[in-house]
Structure 1
Amino acid sequence: MASILDLLNTQTGEQLVDKASAKTSEDKSKVTSVLGMALPLILGAMKRNANDPKGAENLDKALQSDKHNGEILNKLGDKNPEELSDEGSKILNHVLGAKQSGVSKTIAGALNIDEASVNNILEMAAPVIMGLLGQQKRKDNVDASGLSSLLGSVLGSNASHDQSLIESLLDADGDGNVIDDVAGMVFGNKKGKKGGSLLGGMLGGK
């Protein structure tokens, strides 16, 4: 997988969009835009946590669970949306903690979508991300010390370019000042940037 956003072009990604759209009553295109912003942010937060040895150890322990062995990627269509949300809520509490509200608020403001819907979409996406990471961890035999590198790989080749924006959003105090920058990830930077933005692939950029 070139980056986490490639997930949106897979059957698993389509099923996630369908389920989140049905649960939130939001248009599929808006759900896709939310996921396009949220997936790199959740991974970016995980990568930040994994840079700390204790954080890496906790994430490694979670990924060793059979719950996150990657099976969800093949069986997402059979999963109950409420079950996904319940599990995702626990995951996001560990990954984002108090920052979740600010992240949801910022994405909601950038995309003009209800904040509660954003929260639901993030919660449903979190178990899929953990399944993806758990599967890759097993495939590459990665231990706690290698998780930061694994997360960087799944973030994609543009991770270093966009990491500063991810950091700024995760450090935001909720005053909304980063909304324009985050909106730029979705609507801007589509031309003239060789590497493309985080959402370049999804929006037809290169």
Structure 2
Amino acid sequence: MSGLLDLLSSPMGKQLISGVAGQTGQSTDQTGSVLSMALPVLMGAMKKNAATPEGAQGLLSALSNNKHDGSILDNLGGLFGGGVDDSVLNDGAGILGHVLGNKQPQVENALSSKSGMDAGTISTILKVAAPILLGYLGKQTRQQNVTDSNGIGDVLGGLMGGGKTAHKQQSLIESFLDSDGDGSILDDVASMALGGKKGGIGGLLGGLFGK
């Protein structure tokens, strides 16, 4: 199964980074950096929510929506061509509210602090990325014919890399989401996302931008 590393380092991922950069007026370098930190946090939050039967069923219900069947991935050029439509941004805002809850400002501020982007721009990036990430997840669940809570947990775990790497990422992400708001745990998540450790999503930007 393709993981987040494969998603962002693929042609589709580069198109996503370029499109989001154009939407926010940021460089592809900065945008790729933010996405490489943000997507694991969003995925980790989804995995945490899906750990309960109710949460897993809620996620499966969201993925059964035609908006999240993966079709959004088929025309990213059209999505970003004239600027992202408000309906996509509104969908993203709803996803973030469900996945992050009252931790959303904390996540945005921590990403802002780490990346140097203002929190408003971070918020826009997350709103654009969330429907695309859910579409990617929806496509994976359809390909694997996932219909129950155990299956969705396996898909999320696979996308985060599997094994000890995924477990460590999940622990860091949960600590980050449950922290007192100082954002310090993001340094650990970011070091994994920005190439500090092998495996999982490590080395991502090195592959994308030759660092």
TM-score (norm 1): 0.89
Alpha carbons of structure 1 residues 199 and 188: separation in structure 2 relative to 1, 3 Å:
closer
- Secondary structure of 2:206's aligned partner: coil
5 Å-filtered alignment, 1:1-206, equals: 1-79=1-79, 80-83=83-86, 84-145=88-149, 146-157=151-162, 158-187=165-194, 189-190=196-197, 195-196=198-199, 198-204=201-207
Letter in 2 for 1:23: Q
Q: Which amino acid aligns with 2:176?
A: L
| Partners of 1:105 and 1:112 in 2: CA distance | 10
Q: How has the CA–CA distance of structure 1 residues 25 and 45 changed in structure 2, closer, same or farther, with 3 Å as cutoff?
A: same
Q: 1:188 to 1:131 in 2, by over 3 A?
A: closer
Gaps of 5+ in 2: none
SS in 1 for 2:179: coil
Root-mean-square deviation over aligned CA pairs: 2.0
Counterpart of 1:198, as a letter, is I
- Matched to 2:92, the amino acid is G
Cα pair distance change 1:199/1:122, threshold 3 Å:
farther
* Local SS of the residue matching 1:128: helix
- What's the secondary structure of 2:205's corresponding residue? coil
Contact 1:50 1:147 in 2 (8 A): yes
Runs of 4+ in 1 over 4 A off after TM superposition: none
Aligned residue pairs, count: 201
